[in-house]
């Protein structure tokens, strides 16, 4: 049992690598201008759109952008969330308790209903 | 007799006891409910009205506008407002001397000196974060708008240039400009307020030296201590910014160099739901809320709530921009890309008759009556009514479908009328004003000729930005909000070939450029007025874009709020603004 759990846990970094890589590739379907629009909300900033793209490396090849992000994460810097208006690590910390609670509360009904339908 | 007295007594007893009923709730604390999120409390970083609102009340600039004026200045951290008359502006208009006020302390108790002022201005310019406000001072003080060139490399002479421009002489700050720049004081009244150099250094920010400034150029937003904390000289201190509950708490600065504010606390809270804002206002838990024109009827007759309407603005919104050279490659908005009735060619709007046709096809008065409920007035040009340079005698376009038809018949040598056209106008979703503009254009223009077809589409901001930047939008509707209350701040971005919008429109008129460049340098107010009048006459003739309305806004506040005055340049005016003069009773 323990070996099984450990084996699954060992797969975790691979899964995360795959998922994040896939997400990065999907995001590339949005042009650099579209991705830069997260930071440019006011018409007064329109003239500097290119500067924003330069700053966040949005025109760099996707593997370069991914490598930069990986390096940041390796240093513990998960970046800044424009929607939460706080660093990502802080956002995770602050929203985690509620997420955990919701997950735990829904786990048992899901398990129950899932098994029920599986057994049918 | 007794009966009369009894009746009188009864009557008096039933009169609404308005004085007693509306006891001031939280008399020491003023609460403002807004909808926007703030970006950063750093005065060198922030370029949004939510952040600038806090900065206005926590930090102070060298000079500020006198109450509601957008022309008269009063000295704040400078002891005098420099002028030619008092000799603090040199005869050639290139040197400004500011004697720095003595006895002013930062919130942490340290004294404010000319060194802090120099540091603040240099930091404002040298941070130069992408899409930030640094160009507002870089332009007048160095002649270029960014510390970095097109390849994102730092220019070689930046340090020398900024130090030549900003110097401390004893207890005075001296600014030396490469050439005269009329709007300079106006810019200094709204930007680069004074921060504490010592506090900055103590908390890990730039130490003011040449050796390290590049490390702080174009930084990450949250890396600066000024991001969420403040040490200024203003009438309020930033007590806390809680990003989770979207709340700012300001507390009174009792060591303020003028009489301390009457309010002890100011709370600014983000509440996106209008219903909630309204309930809180009614209950007295909020003193002012953000509410725009369509919601007026819902706040108009609330007990204890006052509406202050007809507040002037320094904005020009919406503006209809024509793209002179449309990128028709793989462009769904321009259809076939040819003048064949199924699309429009790249130079569609380069033909003046087409632009004039559109100009006469828009219902300006109807738009103001519908969307603004008749409030506000038709704009006379790119310069808003509240600024000098506005020319009330400048003729404007009006809805005239006959004239519109005449121009369309002339366009492209008559080919336009025969072939017709079909293209798409896009507006960024969620903006009712801009949507209405598009629909009015569609309706009126399609009514002229069955071969004229316009589709109106709502697109998300990222898509809008992307298409607009690639010059794919044949016609787009946006607006402009003032950085500082000077006609140059409207003329340049809207009409100068190197300005914000003409660059996207691919529009260039050398005569307009010349007039705007002259207006920027001309420090004589009367001569400037003439230049801007000529500019707007040319704007009317060339019609590169259509301005529509000089907007007025209304403010909703509890009637126990006193002392409020508006200045259209205050961030978030007339909802936010300056809290210093406010009190509740």
Chain A CB contacts of B478 below 8 Å: 43
- Contact between B311 and B469 (Cβ < 8 Å): no
Residues of chain B with pLDDT under 70: 1-22
Q: Nearest-5° angle of CA B42, CA B47, CA B52?
A: 65
Which residue of chain A is at minimal alpha-carbon distance from B504?
A: A47
Q: What is the pLDDT of residue B76?
A: 98
Does B220 lie at the interface with A, CB-CB under 8 angstroms? Answer: yes
Please name the residue that has the structure tokens 């004026």: B69
The SS3 call for residue B188 is helix
B193 close to A (CB below 8 A): no
What are B190's strand-pairing partners?
Answer: none
CA torsion angle B290 B293 B295 B301 (round to 10): 90
Contacts with A83 (C-beta within 8 Å, 6 or more apart), sequence order: none
Q: Count the alpha carbons within 13 Å of B443 in the hemisphere toward its beta carbon.
A: 11
Chain segment A87-101, per-residue pLDDT in tens: 888 889 989 999 999
Tokens matching residue B573: 């005016």
Cβ neighbours of B499 in A, within 8 Å: 47
Report the distance separating Cα B146 and Cα B275, nearest Å: 44
Query: Nearest CA to B124 among B115, B116, B134?
Result: B134
Question: What pTM value is reported for the model?
Answer: 0.90
Distance from CA of B527 to the nearest CA of A (A): 28
Predicted confidence at residue B6, as pLDDT, reads 63
B478 touches chain A (CB under 8 A): yes
Q: What's the 3-state SS for B35-102?
A: CCCCCCCCCCCCCCHHHHHHHHHHCCCCEEECCCCCCCEEECCECCCCCCCCCCECCCCCEEEEEECC
Chain B residues whose CB is inside 8 A of the A92 CB are none
Q: Which long-range contacts (CB under 8 A, 24 or more apart) does B413-420 make?
A: B415/B339, B416/B339, B416/B351, B416/B354, B417/B449, B418/B451, B419/B339, B419/B340, B419/B341, B419/B451, B420/B341, B420/B449, B420/B450, B420/B451, B420/B452, B420/B453
pLDDT in the model for residue B5 = 65
Pick from B37, B152, B222: which is nearest to A87 by CB? B222
B148 Cβ under 8 Å from any chain A Cβ: yes
From B37, B47, B135, residue closest to A85, measured CB to CB: B37
Rounded distance, CA A102 to CA A93, Å? 15
Q: DSSP character for A92? A: H
Show the tokens assigned to B224. Answer: 């600066």
- B315: contact with A, CB 8 A cutoff: no
* Mean per-residue pLDDT over chain A, rounded: 89
B279 phi and psi angles, rounded to 5 deg = -60, -40
Joined tokens for residue B329: 């490659």
**Rounded to a whole number, what is the distance in Å from the CA of A17 to chain B's nearest CA?**
25
Q: How far apart are CA B474 and CA B457, in angstroms?
A: 13
Distance from CA of B15 to the nearest CA of A (A): 51
CA distance A24 to chain B (A): 17
Residues above pLDDT 70, as percent of chain A: 100
Interatomic CA distance for residues B197 and B119, integer angstroms:
6
Q: In angstroms, what separates the C-alpha of B462 from chain A's closest C-alpha?
A: 4
Instruction: Give the pLDDT confidence score for residue B13 in this predicted structure.
Output: 53
The predicted pLDDT at position A46 comes to 86
Q: Does B244 lie at the interface with A, CB-CB under 8 angstroms?
A: yes
What pLDDT was estimated at residue B434? 92
Give the pLDDT confidence score for residue B244 in this predicted structure: 82
CB-CB under 8 Å, B244 with A47 = no
The pLDDT assigned to B428 comes to 87
Interface test with A, best of B155, B227, B462, B480 (most A CBs within 10 A): B462
- Determine whether the interchain pair A54/B504 forms a contact, defined as Cβ–Cβ distance below 8 Å: no
From residue A87, alpha-carbon distances to A69, B520, B522 in Å are 14, 41, 46
pLDDT for res B555:
97
Return the higher-pLDDT residue of A30 and B57: B57
- The share of chain A scoring above pLDDT 90, in percent, equals 41
């Amino acid at each position: 049992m323990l070996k099984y759990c450990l084996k699954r846990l060992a797969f975790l970094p691979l899964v995360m690598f795959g998922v994040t890589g896939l997400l990065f590739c999907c995001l590339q379907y949005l042009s650099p201008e579209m991705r830069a629009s997260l930071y440019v909300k006011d018409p007064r900033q329109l003239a500097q759109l290119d500067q924003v793209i330069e700053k966040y490396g949005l025109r760099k090849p996707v593997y370069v952008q991914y490598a930069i992000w990986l390096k940041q994460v390796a240093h513990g810097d998960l970046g800044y969330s424009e929607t939460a208006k706080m660093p990502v690590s802080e956002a995770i910390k602050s929203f985690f308790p509620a997420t955990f609670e919701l997950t735990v509360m829904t786990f048992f009904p899901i398990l129950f209903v899932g098994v029920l339908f599986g057994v049918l | 007799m007794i009966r009369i007295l009894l009746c009188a007594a009864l009557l008096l007893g039933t009169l609404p006891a308005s004085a007693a009923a509306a006891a001031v709730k939280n008399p020491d604390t003023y609460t403002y409910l807004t909808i926007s999120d703030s970006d950063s409390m750093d005065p060198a970083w922030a370029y949004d009205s939510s952040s600038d609102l806090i900065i206005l009340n926590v930090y102070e600039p060298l000079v500020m506008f006198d109450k509601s004026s957008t022309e008269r200045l009063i000295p704040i951290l400078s002891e005098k407002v420099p002028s030619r008359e008092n000799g603090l502006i040199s005869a050639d208009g290139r040197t400004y001397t500011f004697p720095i006020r003595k006895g002013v302390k930062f919130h942490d108790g340290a004294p404010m000196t000319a060194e802090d002022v120099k540091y603040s201005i240099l930091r404002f310019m040298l941070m130069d974060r992408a899409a930030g406000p640094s160009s507002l001072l870089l332009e007048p003080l160095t002649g270029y708008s960014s510390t970095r060139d097109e390849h994102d490399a730092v220019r070689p002479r930046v340090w020398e240039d900024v130090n030549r421009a900003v110097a401390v002489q004893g207890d005075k700050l001296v600014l030396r400009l490469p050439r005269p720049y009329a709007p300079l004081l106006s810019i200094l009244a709204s930007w680069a307020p004074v921060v504490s150099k010592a506090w900055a250094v103590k908390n890990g920010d730039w130490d003011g030296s040449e050796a390290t400034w590049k490390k702080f150029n174009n930084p990450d937003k949250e890396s600066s201590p000024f991001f969420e904390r403040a040490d200024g000289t203003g009438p309020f201190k930033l007590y806390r910014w809680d990003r989770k509950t979207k709340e700012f708490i300001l507390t009174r600065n009792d060591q303020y160099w003028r009489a301390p504010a009457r309010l002890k606390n100011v709370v600014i809270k983000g509440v996106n739901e209008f219903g909630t804002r309204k309930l809180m206002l009614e209950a007295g838990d909020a003193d002012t809320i953000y509410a725009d024109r369509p919601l007026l009827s819902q706040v108009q007759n609330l007990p204890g709530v006052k509406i202050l309407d007809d507040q002037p603005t320094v904005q020009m919104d919406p503006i209809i921009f024509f793209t002179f050279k449309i990128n028709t490659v793989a462009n769904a908005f321009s259809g076939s890309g040819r003048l064949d009735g199924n699309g429009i060619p790249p130079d569609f709007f380069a033909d003046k008759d087409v632009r004039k046709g559109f100009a006469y096809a828009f219902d300006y008065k109807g738009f103001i009556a519908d969307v603004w409920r008749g409030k506000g007035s038709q704009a006379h040009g790119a310069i808003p009514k509240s600024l000098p340079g506005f020319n009330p005698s400048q003729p404007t376009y009006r809805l005239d479908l006959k004239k519109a038809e005449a121009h369309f018949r002339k366009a492209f040598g008559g080919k336009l009328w025969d072939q017709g056209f079909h293209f798409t106008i896009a507006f960024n979703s969620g903006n009712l004003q801009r949507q209405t503009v598009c629909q009015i254009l569609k309706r009126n223009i399609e009514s002229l000729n069955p071969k004229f077809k316009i589709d109106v589409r709502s697109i998300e901001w990222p898509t809008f930005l992307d298409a607009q930047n690639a010059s794919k939008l044949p016609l787009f509707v946006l607006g402009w909000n003032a950085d500082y209350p000077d006609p140059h701040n409207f003329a340049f971005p809207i009409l100068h070939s190197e300005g914000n919008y003409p660059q996207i429109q691919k529009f260039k008129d050398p005569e307009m450029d010349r007039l705007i460049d002259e207006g920027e340098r001309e420090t004589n107010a009367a001569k400037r007025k003439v230049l801007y009048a000529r500019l707007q006459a040319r704007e009317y003739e060339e019609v590169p874009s259509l301005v529509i309305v000089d907007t007025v806004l209304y403010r909703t506040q509890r009637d126990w709020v006193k002392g409020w005055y508006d200045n259209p340049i205050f961030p978030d005016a007339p909802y936010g603004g300056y809290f210093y003069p406010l009190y509740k009773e």
